[in-house]
Structure 1
Amino acid sequence: MAGTKRSREGEPLPVINSNTSTDNHPSPTTTTAMAVAADTAMTDVATEATMAEAAEPMEKKGVSIDDTQQRQIQLIFENFRDELDEHYDRRERIVKATRDITALSKKIIFSLQRVRAIAAPIPASIAKENKIRIDQILDLFRSLIPDMDSNGPNSWRYQRQFSGGVQEFIEALSFQHYVQTQRLITLEEVRAVLPREILVTEEDYLMGLFDLTGEMMRFAVTVLSTGGQVKKPGVTGASTKPVEKISNMDRMTEGEARSEVPELPPAHAGIVIDLRAMRSEFEALNVPRRHNAFMMKDLPKKMEVMQNSVEKVERAAYGILVRGSERPGGWTPDLTGPAEVETY
């Protein structure tokens, strides 16, 4: 019926007739409504009791739900802090060891610059000094194995901080190898010297060889300026043939004409030839673009320095060949002017 009042649960409320006596028994409809209301009240009481029991342990501990979440977040950031502290400590150890490796490698190079012959044994005093320094460098590399193990991710994570020391050591090692054998050391030979846990990349090897050309240039200029006497095949002593015969080429045989061409001693000429061969190989490098963003970003600068080093040696050799007979004692080639050599 449209005018019938209903309870909250949708049950029709009993209609009380004013003419009906209150002493009469309640109707069935009234009984049903009272039962539904009682069930609802008991459900509400049970829910409140359950919530109170769930909250009781937290209240006894004196910690609210918001405090628990805050503690979890705090623990997360404490882990971040510990990881960053460990990272910076490890990075500092690698940087310090790399700095020591670089300093010791430079001392090896400075000692080798006192040598005046190639493809020959190094003097005992210099060899002893370099042996001690190489052992010290290897000890430093071994100390970095826990931080730079090639089987783990840290070998690449700290590659930028570690690479400079590796390149400097390769430069010193390759320079000593060249002075002893007059040939370049290979990547496999470098890896055989270092502990196997230390990562040596192809980029580090190439950058070390680029730096080697600078030391070979200093070595060659020193050797040429102190002992680069011009010699002529088949001619003994410092005497030369008369100028008339030199200028009159039509009366000279091919052998005689060839004997008049000045030459450097084989040991000195070999350095110039080796440097020019290295320049040709380096200029033929084709570096993929994917390497430009990492270690090969220094390649253009190192290429320019290498070319300048080779040109200085060529200019020194040409100066000795052209003006060798007029060179007084103690004369040093002029390397201050621009290079006037043909490059490719």
Structure 2
Amino acid sequence: MFNTTGFHKAALMASKPKPQLLHTIAETAVQSSVKRARILSTQSSMKDAFAKYAEYLNNLNDKRERVVKASRDITMNSKKVIFQVHRISKQNKEEVLEKAEKDLGHVATWHISRLVKELQGTDFWKLRRAYSPGVQEYVEAATLCKFCKTGTLLSLDEINAGLLPLSDPSLEPLQISNLDYLLGLADLTGELMRLAIGRISDGELEYAEKICRFVRDIYRELTLLVPHMDDTSDMKMKMDTMLQSLMKIENACFSVHVRGSEYMPLLGSNDPGSFLSGVPDIEL
């Protein structure tokens, strides 16, 4: 005969969970809820981080566009200063240099100041490629004016000291880097070559020879320095151009010395202001 009492007792024991099993189920449920909470929290923080980074990139791109615009304005107005300096002669030297220095001051006040405001308080090395062309052109114009006025080289410290008043004293000032200064100095030699050729045409051979010595000194010093620089791709190309400019000046000065008699009918060896003054006439 089937024992129903034992069957019911076994069924009740099977349906009633053991204390250890209840503890395991509860612990698993708590762990799963904590894991879901952590996943949701991590996803939210990652989403916020990506949103902030996207906003940073958008602001950086907008800033880069403004910096590029300021750099173009600096380049354009610095070129105007360089063109003015090429009008220099014995008669108008002071007048031309005074106007050029005044316009160069306006470049710093109106255009470089915009660049300084954009780059203050930021890591301006990230945007160097955006403003480097304008800075190089400004260095070229400033050093050309200084050479024409005093016959000396405008140093990097002097340029940065002139830009210091444009910066907020509470923030890190924008300073022209050594590389941008040297790149601008390399471009200067091309303008000095044009200036020397123009001075020879006007009969100022001594001034052209002075320019030749100055360019030769720059080229010699940079030849020793460039091999030790890290970023030299741009500098090496400009060194080749610099050598060509130096050779053009030397050839022009040499040609005048060797073939100076051919210029006598044009310039007049008896003219006290002529660079051929004192040279005896050739009898035909």
The TM-score normalised by the length of structure 2 is: 0.74
Q: How many residues were matched structurally?
A: 254
CA contact (8 A) 1:111 1:130 kept: no
2-side partners of 1:174 and 1:40: how far apart? Answer: 92
2-side partners of 1:90 and 1:207: how far apart? Answer: 24
Aligned to 1:329: 266
SS at match of 1:114: coil
SS at match of 1:185: coil
Residue 241 of structure 2, aligned match among 281, 296, 305:
305
The verdict on how the C-alpha distance between 1:157 and 1:38 changes in structure 2, with shifts beyond 3 A counting, is: same
Aligned to 1:140: 111
Aligned to 2:188: 212
The verdict on how the C-alpha distance between 1:72 and 1:133 changes in structure 2, with shifts beyond 3 A counting, is: same
The verdict on how the C-alpha distance between 1:133 and 1:283 changes in structure 2, with shifts beyond 3 A counting, is: closer
**Structure with the greater alpha carbon radius of gyration:** 1
2-side partners of 1:73 and 1:269: how far apart? Answer: 67
Q: Which has the higher helix share?
A: 2
2-side partners of 1:183 and 1:271: how far apart? Answer: 10
Letter in 1 for 2:253: A
Report matched runs for 1:175-214 at 5 Å.
175-195=144-164, 197-214=173-190
Letter in 2 for 1:116: S
CA contact (8 A) 2:82 2:144 kept: yes
2-side partners of 1:80 and 1:136: how far apart? Answer: 35
Aligned to 2:202: 226
1:110 aligns with 2:62: no
2-side partners of 1:172 and 1:121: how far apart? Answer: 19
The TM-score normalised by the length of structure 1 is: 0.62
The verdict on how the C-alpha distance between 1:113 and 1:74 changes in structure 2, with shifts beyond 3 A counting, is: same
Q: Which runs of 5+ in 2 are unaligned?
A: 168-172, 269-284
CA contact (8 A) 1:138 1:194 kept: no
Q: Which runs of 5+ in 1 are unaligned?
A: 1-17, 56-64, 229-263, 332-344
Aligned to 2:253: 317
- C-alpha RMSD of matched pairs (Å): 3.9
Aligned to 2:128: 159
The verdict on how the C-alpha distance between 1:38 and 1:282 changes in structure 2, with shifts beyond 3 A counting, is: closer
The verdict on how the C-alpha distance between 1:36 and 1:310 changes in structure 2, with shifts beyond 3 A counting, is: same
Letter in 1 for 2:85: L
- Percentage of pairs with the same residue: 30
CA contact (8 A) 1:224 1:268 kept: yes
Report matched runs for 1:1-344 at 5 Å.
18=1, 30=9, 34=12, 37-38=15-16, 74-117=47-90, 122-124=93-95, 126-128=97-99, 130-149=101-120, 152=122, 154-195=123-164, 197-228=173-204, 264=205, 266-288=206-228, 291=230, 294=231, 296-327=232-263, 328-329=265-266
SS at match of 1:329: helix
CA contact (8 A) 2:78 2:107 kept: no
1-side partners of 2:96 and 2:195: how far apart? Answer: 19
The verdict on how the C-alpha distance between 1:115 and 1:77 changes in structure 2, with shifts beyond 3 A counting, is: same
SS at match of 1:194: helix
Range with greater deviation from structure 2 (276-285 or 178-187):
276-285
Letter in 2 for 1:298: D
